[in-house]
Amino acid sequence: MTERRKVVIVGSGPAGLTAAIYAARAQLEPLVIEGEPSSNSDQPGGQLMLTTEVENYPGFVDGVMGPELMGIMRNQAIRFGAELRTAKVSRLDLSSPSPFPVWVGDPEADEPTVEADALIIATGARSLMLGCPNEERLLGYGVSTCATCDGFFFREHHIAVAGGGDSALEEAIFLTRFASKVTVIHRRSELRASKIMQERAFKNPKIEFLWDSVIVDVLGDTKVSGIKVKHTKSAETFELPVTGLFVAIGHEPNSALVKGQLDLEENGYVRTVGRSSRTSVEGVFACGDVQDHIYRQAITSAGSGCMASIDAEHWLEERGE
């Protein structure tokens, strides 16, 4: 028989887990369907599981490692009675009013796994890959999306980081602990990253920049031996002999589950109404990076998770539940 829940939260990054903490404390006995293990930023704990030191999350004077912070939030949600299930939602049906059927596992199964009175979408965003021919083949053999996981293997190597935002510079700076040289490859002539990160990167003697440059291919037979770089202004291409490539060029929202069911922005992010977490379907709320392409911080994500939980609680109350 299909299980019925007052609140189901899809996703377990800072947004999903904060929503879970609030919903659990409001006695709504939330079920968090947290996702399944993966190394590509669509996993339990969210993108912070792939990051290093988080220095800007309030409350941690000396910073905290991303995976550690997520472990703490998870335990906090469990402490108040949230149930976490390590599984992936395969399908949602938002075509009829609440309760909303949620499938885990076989999306074609006759009966949904659980029905949710209120649904909180906190599926986050995932890292974009470059999309060049040999990138996927060499993933794990020098191509990496996780500096914390793989930096260790590049002691005294020359490696490259693709991207120009905060994540790219954070990775580049972290990787200088191991690498002899880190080349940051950015397609423009200036960085998107915050001033403090830029300053640190410019000051770091191991970091150099290649401006107006894009990576067109990754070279190497059984492991990365170099990358092919194209200068966008002169259109010249050349090879850079690196043994590692870390990709941090941006993100896309994990909104496939609700595409065609909720109103999305043109760039695929879930549209929320005014200063709330409400979506185009009554009883469905969205929080975190799946609906935010502007701030995208752990703290804004957590804040929006809190909003979603309170919005859901009010909505359930108004329905008389």
Binding site for other proteins (CB under 8 A): 36-40, 43-45, 48-51, 65-67, 70-71, 86, 88, 139-142, 144, 146, 148-150, 152-153, 223
CB atoms within 10 A of CB 296: 18
The enclosing H or E element of 299 equals: helix 298-318
Min CB(26)–other proteins separation in Å: 28
Q: What distance in Å separates the CA atoms of residue 246 and residue 309, rounded to the nearest whole number?
A: 36
The 3-class SS string of 300-317 reads: HHHHHHHHHHHHHHHHHH
Residues with a catalytic annotation lie at: 146, 149-150
Min CB(54)–other proteins separation in Å: 12
| Tokens found for residue 47 | 């993108």
Based on CB atoms, which residue is closest to other proteins, 105 or 133? Answer: 105
Instruction: Give just the sign of the alpha carbon dihedral 75, 80, 84, 90.
Output: negative
DSSP 108-137: T-SS-SEEEEEEEE---EEEPP---TTTTT
Based on CB atoms, which residue is closest to other proteins, 246 or 269? Answer: 246
Min CB(320)–other proteins separation in Å: 39
Based on CB atoms, which residue is closest to other proteins, 45 or 99? Answer: 45
Min CB(232)–other proteins separation in Å: 30
Based on CB atoms, which residue is closest to other proteins, 6 or 88? Answer: 88
